[in-house]
Amino acid sequence: MYGSVPLIVRLLASSVSVANRAGKIVRDVMSKGELGIVEKGKDDYQTEADRSAQRCIVASLAAQYPNLKIIGEEDSLEDEGEVVSDWLVNEIDKEILKLQCPPNLQEVKEEDIVVWVDPLDGTSEYTQGFLEHVTVLIGIAVNETPVAGVIHQPYYKNIVEGDKKIGRTIWGLHGVGVGGFTPAPPPESIVITTTRSHSNPVVEEALKVMNASKVLRVGGAGYKVLQLLEGNASIYVFASPGCKKWDTCAPEAILSAAGGKLTDILGNFYKYGANVTKPNKTGVLAAVNNELHSYALERIPEKLQETLANK
- Map out the domains of the chain as residue ranges: 7-179, 191-309
pLDDT at 83: 73
Candidates 47, 79, 93, 123; catalytic one: 123
What number of CA atoms fall less than 13 Å from residue 270's CA on the CB side? 35
Q: Give the DSSP H/E element, type plus range, for residue 219.
A: none
Q: Which residues are annotated as a binding site?
A: 73, 118, 120-121, 247
Between residues 201 and 274, the one the model is more confident about:
274
Q: What is the pLDDT of residues 29-83, one digit of tens each?
A: 887 766 666 655 555 566 778 888 999 999 999 999 999 999 998 765 555 556 7
3-state class (DSSP) for residue 155? strand
For domain 7-179, give the CATH number: 3.30.540.10
Q: How far is CA 51 from CA 116, 263, 301, in A?
A: 15, 29, 40
In angstroms, the CA 194 to CA 198 distance is 9
Q: What pTM, to 2 d.p., does this model score?
A: 0.93
Count of beta carbons in the 10 Å neighbourhood of residue 143? 12
Asked whether the CA dihedral 280, 282, 288, 289 is positive or negative, the reply is negative
Q: Which residues are annotated as a binding site for Mg(2+)?
A: 73, 118, 120-121, 247
Candidates 28, 43, 44, 50; catalytic one: 50
Model confidence at 291: pLDDT above 80: yes
> Cβ-count burial of 189 within 10 angstroms (0-12 exposed, 13-18 middle, 19+ buried)?
exposed
Whether 169 is catalytic = no
pLDDT at 228: 98
224 contacts: CB under 8 Å, gap ≥ 6: 193, 194, 218, 233, 236, 238, 251, 286
> Cβ-count burial of 57 within 10 angstroms (0-12 exposed, 13-18 middle, 19+ buried)?
buried
Beta carbons of 88 and 14 less than 8 angstroms apart? no
Angle ∠(281,287,293) on CA atoms, nearest 5: 85
Provide the β-strand partners of residue 216.
193
Q: Give the DSSP H/E element, type plus range, for residue 175.
A: none
> Cβ-count burial of 45 within 10 angstroms (0-12 exposed, 13-18 middle, 19+ buried)?
middle
Q: What is the pLDDT of residues 95-132, one digit of tens each?
A: 999 999 999 999 999 999 999 999 999 878 888 888 89
Whether 28 is catalytic = no
Q: How far is CA 140 from CA 37, 168, 179, 233, 306, in A?
A: 28, 19, 16, 25, 30
Beta carbons of 239 and 304 less than 8 angstroms apart? yes
In angstroms, the CA 273 to CA 287 distance is 23
Q: What is the pLDDT of residues 185-229, one digit of tens each?
A: 999 999 999 988 777 888 888 888 999 999 999 999 999 999 999
**Assigned CATH topology for domain 191-309:** D-Maltodextrin-Binding Protein; domain 2 (3.40.190)
3-state class (DSSP) for residue 5? coil
Give the helix ranges, DSSP H, for the chain: 7-32, 48-64, 94-97, 123-128, 201-208, 221-229, 245-257, 290-299, 302-309
Q: Residue 1: which pLDDT band, with cuts at 50, 70 and 90?
A: low
The phi and psi torsions of 262 (rounded to 5 degrees) equal -130, 125
**In this structure, what DSSP letter does residue 134 have?**
-
Average pLDDT of span 218-242: 95
pLDDT at 41: 54
